[in-house]
């Protein structure tokens, strides 16, 4: 008889029997432990291998839930088995050990932070790839565009100055290059970059505005109120 009375979750202690049945079928068949659900779970660990499929097309190999964009690889310490699971399962089951870069098991609080950090990393990497793709498309349409200098700056600062960003937007629109304003970040940490933003004419500011974070937009509006 399968034992699962002690099964614990990180977020929701109440799981449907149907859901647990699906998980048991997939988990126990690939674990050394064949009857105790909790013991079987403790054979599995997550060490940081996570993937962004860019589209919601995958299925969780643990619970069978479909429409996944993010996958997390868990490995069994006693067998050669590996499963690609979704965000819900990797966050839900405490039995799955989450490890740091050195292979040490993390406590629940640090495990939750690691999983959240890895998800943010996947999203940020995908955003970064889209930015590079837009720059490459622009370079293929404009011979005078110095893509190397823009990419070098991006890698160093992870954002563009207001002057750089308004130039990019103008060039994107001129050549019909598709881009998502939300993918681009603007830096205004230095006073000269703050001034660049403040000196923009309204029509350029309107185009740049979606690239600004909520805090940057609030900072700009506050400064404008102080001046006027």
Structure tokens at 151: 């990419």
Question: Binning pLDDT at 50, 70 and 90, where does residue 92 land?
Answer: confident
pLDDT of the residue at 14: 59
pLDDT of residue 142 exceeding 80, the answer is yes
pLDDT reported for residue 200: 95
On the question of pLDDT at 94 being above 90, the answer is no
Closest CA to 103 of 77, 80, 139: 77
| pLDDT tens digits for range 107-132 | 989 999 999 999 999 999 999 999 99
For 38-63, give one letter per residue: b (16+ CB within 10 A) or e. bebbbbbbbbeebebeeeeebebbbb
Rama region for 64: left / alpha / beta (φ>0; ψ in -120 to 50; rest): left
Mean pLDDT for all residues in the chain: 89
The pLDDT assigned to 117 comes to: 94
Question: pLDDT value at position 198?
Answer: 94
Residue 183, class by beta-carbon neighbours within 10 Å (0-12 exposed, 13-18 middle, 19+ buried)? middle
**Can you give the pLDDT at residue 202?**
94
Residue 3: pLDDT band (50, 70, 90) is low
**Would you state the structure tokens that stand for residue 17, as one six-digit string?**
């029997």
Higher pLDDT residue, 4 or 124? 124
Closest CA to 43 of 33, 34, 56, 57: 33
pTM score above 0.75: no
Residue 156: count of CB within 10 angstroms of its CB: 8
Q: Is the pLDDT of residue 5 over 50?
A: no
Largest CA distance in the chain: 75
Could you give the percent of the chain with pLDDT greater than 90? Answer: 72
Which letter, b or e, does each residue of 79-117 get, where b requires 16 or more Cβ atoms within 10 Å of its Cβ? eebebbbbbbbbbbbbbbbbbeeeeeebeeeebeebbee
């Amino acid at each position: 008889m399968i034992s699962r009375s002690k099964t614990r979750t990180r977020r929701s202690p109440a799981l449907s029997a149907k859901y647990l049945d699906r998980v048991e079928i997939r988990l126990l068949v690939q674990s050394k432990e064949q009857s105790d659900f909790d013991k079987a779970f403790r054979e599995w660990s997550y060490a940081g291998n996570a993937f962004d499929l860019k589209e919601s097309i995958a299925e969780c190999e643990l619970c069978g839930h479909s429409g996944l964009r993010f996958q997390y690889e868990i490995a069994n310490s006693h067998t050669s088995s590996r499963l690609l699971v979704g965000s819900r399962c990797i966050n839900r089951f405490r039995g799955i050990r989450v490890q740091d870069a050195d292979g040490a098991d993390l406590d629940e609080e640090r495990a939750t932070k690691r999983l959240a950090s890895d998800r943010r990393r996947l999203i940020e990497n995908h955003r970064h790839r889209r930015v590079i793709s837009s720059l490459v498309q622009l370079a293929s349409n404009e011979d005078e565009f110095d893509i190397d200098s823009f990419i070098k700056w991006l890698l160093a600062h992870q954002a563009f100055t207001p002057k750089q960003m308004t130039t990019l937007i103008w060039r994107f629109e001129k050549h019909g290059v598709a881009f998502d304003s939300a993918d681009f970040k603007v830096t205004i940490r230095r006073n000269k970059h703050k001034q660049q933003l403040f000196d923009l004419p309204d029509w350029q500011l309107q185009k740049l505005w979606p690239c600004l974070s909520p805090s940057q937009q609030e900072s700009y509006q506050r400064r404008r109120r102080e001046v006027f």
